[in-house]
Amino acid sequence: MTKYASFYQRSIEDRDGFWAEQADLIDWQVKPSQICDYSKPPFAHWFVGGTTNLCHNAVDRHLKDRADQPALIYVSTETGQEITYSFAQLCDEVQRMAAILQSLGVKQGDRVLIYMPMIAEAAFAMLACVRIGAIHSVVFGGFASHSLATRIDDASPVLIISADAGSRGGKVVPYKPLLDEAISLSQHKPSAVLMVDRGLSAFTSVPGLDYAYAELRQQHMNAKVACVWLDSAHPSYTLYTSGTTGKPKGVQRDTGGYTVALAASMQHIFEGQAGQVYFSTSDIGWVVGHSYIIYGPLLAGMATLMYEGLPTRPHGGVWWELVEKYKVTHMFSAPTAVRVLKKQDPALLSAYDISSLKALYLAGEPLDEPTAQWIADGLGKPIIDNYWQTETGWPILTVANGVQKMPSKFGSPGVPMYGFNVKLLSDSTGEELTGAQEKGVVVIEGPLPPGCLQTLWGDDERFVKTYWQSVPGKLVYSTFDWGVRDEDGYFYILGRTDDVINVAGHRLGTREIEESISSHPNVAEVAVVGVADALKGQVAMAFVVAKDTSALGDANARLKLEGEIMKLVDSQLGAVARPSRVLFLSLLPKTRSGKLLRRAIQAVCEKRDPGDLTTIDDPTPLQQIKQQLDV
């Protein structure tokens, strides 16, 4: 048995012994008396009786050994700002923010909704909340008023922290009008709104409700606010899953389990060491931003680079320029971003000194092999995929190089991580599939390891019904993803179980077809959806962003490329998987977080209402689809 295999096996078979050791990676005021209480499945209570504090572990405990070391490196290519905060300076700023929160009536257990751009004050706000035991709920900055209002109603915050505006691609996005409208739409009304004025967009303050951060910060310059020692089960935050419809799903995270899980992941998965620099290109509005911009790197004593801007502005090499400048050792991004970079001059990948970089980690969506190979060749660095969800808080599948060096396989996120008892189940019988290349639903047997969601905020029943009762007769957590496992135990994710296409009785995963199409040399990005068909039930339709668009203005050139793509799928997957149409778009329709709007694409193709598009980044692609289908 390999070193990692025995490490993993112990995490499943000697769960309490394994996690008791991981718990020693963090500071506790009171050590836990019980490691895991799983007496009421599927609810797991980790590190029972222990008291700790997430902010203490991320900030204060480093003051003894590395007070002057960089902790937060803030870079905005939108405003031209670059500020580095040491651990000591970060601690001062967090205490000032904590004092402001307390002055505005925030107490332990209260919710604070954070609706902010990628600015340093957002990091201060998150850390200040967990410092005093308030529960933060970050909503992606610029989110539409209606969607924001539903989250205000669900979280019922005492305080909302916001800013005058964000900026994207040089375009100012005013937040205050969106926030004012959201508050007017919501049933719940916050007691106060704390405004950070960046000077980007003039706004009118609401008397008696709005408070200026700059003024209150001045009043609390010398504030000393101690960390509150919290029960391990005390909620650290709620985070609403993107793409939710109807009532939002607020993923609720604990304190002790999350702190331990992230500290362990920084050691076993990311091999992070104090003094190194971690650059995650995500946003604090998403789970990656919580786990691997704010908390994970700081827990490890690393500096975290918080970036506001695009990967292509002011030029297509800006990320690598930052790697060179700040000696970034670990980088975390998404396949979507890499595909954007594929359209830039490939020479930019080798134009900067990135010798400090140890690896590029990718997550957020399946990483196709051509994209992985392109960035690996361009950077000459290890490309490490990982698969997880808002609900789990840290990777389910990847390689734990901190335990044992393991090869990455392009197209696969990797093997199950310690603590995650991952199985493949037949969707028809619920039986476990143990053979290689057998396709099933990826599930996790309870208890979920530390760091995963405790429940859904205010709705235990929905938590059980949504995640734990989808496989008849089995209490297992469903990821709602199809997967297969190869002979080496590596998993391959084939797409959502609700993205299965049933073509004339044949069940096809959209992911498989996308993988085939993306291997065409002129395909930069592709999405495949199932569209209703009177004869076959459903047919596959493909939507492609070409690398070379110069010839696609000509109808014959489009037909030629469409034919090549169909022939390619035919040869790789068979005629049944061949798309009925291939449409060419300037970009794929996505949310601001980079998630593909599959249901909206499907609705447009089926001439249905695409529903709430408030999270869409750019409506142009949906209009292009409609125009092409109407021809």
CA dist., res. 486 & res. 412, Å (int):
10
- pLDDT for res 549: 78
* Helix/strand/coil percentages in the chain, nearest 5: 35, 25, 40
Least confident of 262-271, 357-366, 452-461: 357-366
- pLDDT for res 506: 63
Q: How confident is the model at residue 504 (pLDDT cuts 50, 70, 90)?
A: low
Q: How confident is the model at residue 245 (pLDDT cuts 50, 70, 90)?
A: very low
pTM, to two decimals = 0.85
- pLDDT for res 246: 53
Cα angle 296, 615, 294 (rounded to 5 degrees) comes to: 10
Q: Which residues contact 56 (CB under 8 A, 6 or more apart)?
A: 27, 131, 227
- pLDDT for res 170: 94
What's the maximum distance between 2 C-alpha atoms anywhere in the chain? 73
pLDDT in tens, 136-154: 999 988 777 877 998 999 9
pLDDT in tens, 51-91: 999 999 999 999 999 999 999 999 999 999 999 999 999 99
Strands 491-496 and 230-231: unpaired
Average pLDDT over every residue of 111-132? 98
pLDDT in tens, 543-579: 999 988 776 778 888 899 999 999 998 877 777 789 9
- pLDDT for res 617: 75
SS3 at position 225: coil
Average pLDDT over every residue of 508-535? 86
- Average pLDDT, rounded, for the chain: 93
CA dist., res. 344 & res. 315, Å (int):
9
Walk me through the domains of the chain, giving residue ranges and CATH numbers. Answer: 3-309+386-480 (3.40.50.12780), 504-630 (3.30.300.30)
pLDDT in tens, 288-330: 999 999 999 999 999 999 999 999 999 999 999 999 999 999 9
% of the chain with per-residue pLDDT over 90: 76
DSSP labels, 124-157? HHHHHHHHHT-EEEE--TT--HHHHHHHHHHH--
pLDDT in tens, 474-503: 999 999 888 999 999 999 998 777 666 767
CA 523 and chain centroid, separation: 25
Q: How confident is the model at residue 113 (pLDDT cuts 50, 70, 90)?
A: very high
Average pLDDT over every residue of 523-532? 91
